[in-house]
Amino acid sequence: MSIFTGAGVAIITPFNEDGTVNYDAFGEIIEAQIKGGSDAIIVCGTTGESSTMNDEEHIAVIKYCVDKVAKRVPVIAGSGSNCTREAVNISREAERVGADGLLCVTPYYNKCTQEGLYQYYKAISDAVNIPIIMYNVPSRTGTTIQPETAVRIAKEVKNVVAIKEASGNISAVAKLASLAEGCIDIYSGNDDQVLPILSLGGKGVISVWSHVAPKKVHDMVMAFLDGDIATAQKLQLEAIDVIGALFSEVNPIPVKAAMNMLGFNAGPVRAPLTELSDKNKEVLKKSLKEYGVL
């Protein structure tokens, strides 16, 4: 059974000026996403700046999200690490505080082999009882889950049910879908490639774009799955410029700037990330206005 079908938002973590988590703003953003039609909340992922959080803070943010969402949509907690032991510990804690599923990025910096990836996901799976989404994003981690490995893990590791595909390699996604024959759910991890991945049997997207247009992203996925390809195509293509602006610098720098522009108190990013450049702020503001959300 799929954890979700549709558009899940890879939600930001708002910070106060002193760097602490702004839970009031976080609650407002969560409510706006649910009201807007997001089908799942993915908390403490890349967009949530989880790599800048200590373990206590990481779990506190997940718990707040779980409690705030209150089962209205699934909450999927980012719990991957460059250390298997750390990933296991965070995954256990995420399950304890009520997460419905886990998003586990491949180990970064420690560039393990394909067998190492298998053992990593097996160790996490053996420690928890909730479903796991693998996260393939080699541009950030330096490690690629090969299609054959993803299928092996999905077939042999009990809780691994899906993969977030952010490699950008549509040919590899097609190979994965061909080998999998439905044994694994595929979610797009790139907002500009949602329709191509849906066309290969994908279940939806884990999205940054959803921050600024949750209903449009949800509607696009559902239109495609309902067979209204023309509407889905229109929604995808009319967003290409705003998606480009949301990734004009390293994620989540632009999306935090966008949320501040839209009136949410998203606050600053944490170092080593820096604030969006003035040039890209103007591009982002222009694209949000042309897209009709600002």
The pLDDT score that the predictor gives to residue 27 is 98
Sequence-distant contacts of 84-87: CB under 8 A, at least 24 apart: 84/119, 84/120, 84/123, 84/124, 86/55, 87/120, 87/123, 87/124
The pLDDT score that the predictor gives to residue 228 is 98
Mean pLDDT across the stretch 273-282? 98
Active site residue 215: no
pLDDT digits (tens, 9 = 90+) for 208-258: 999 999 999 999 999 999 999 999 999 999 999 999 999 999 999 999 999
Cα–Cα dist 36/107, whole Å: 33
pLDDT digits (tens, 9 = 90+) for 71-97: 999 999 999 999 999 999 999 999 999
The pLDDT score that the predictor gives to residue 2 is 83
> With 70 as the cut, is the pLDDT of residue 1 above it?
no
Q: Is 152 in contact with 180 (CB distance < 8 Å)?
A: no
Q: What angle do CA 41, 186, 140 make, to 5 degrees?
A: 75
> Could you state, in order of their start, the residue ranges of all structural domains in the chain?
6-228
What Rg do the C-alpha atoms of the chain give, in angstroms?
18
Catalytic residue among 120, 135, 187, 291: 135
Catalytic residue among 63, 118, 121, 164: 164
The pLDDT score that the predictor gives to residue 40 is 98
3-state helix, strand, coil in the chain (%, to 5): 50, 15, 35
Q: What is the percent of the chain with per-residue pLDDT over 90, rounded to a whole number?
A: 99
The pLDDT score that the predictor gives to residue 195 is 98
Q: What angle do CA 23, 28, 33 make, to 5 degrees?
A: 125
Alpha-helix residue ranges (DSSP H) falling in 97-213: 114-127, 138-141, 147-156, 170-180, 194-199
pLDDT digits (tens, 9 = 90+) for 177-203: 999 999 999 999 999 999 999 999 999
pLDDT digits (tens, 9 = 90+) for 247-262: 999 999 999 999 999 9
> With 80 as the cut, is the pLDDT of residue 48 above it?
yes
pLDDT digits (tens, 9 = 90+) for 93-148: 999 999 999 999 999 998 899 999 999 999 999 999 999 999 999 999 999 999 99
Active site residue 216: no
Residue given tokens 């779990």 in the structure block: 59
Return the CATH class of domain 6-228.
alpha beta
Q: Is 187 in contact with 163 (CB distance < 8 Å)?
A: yes
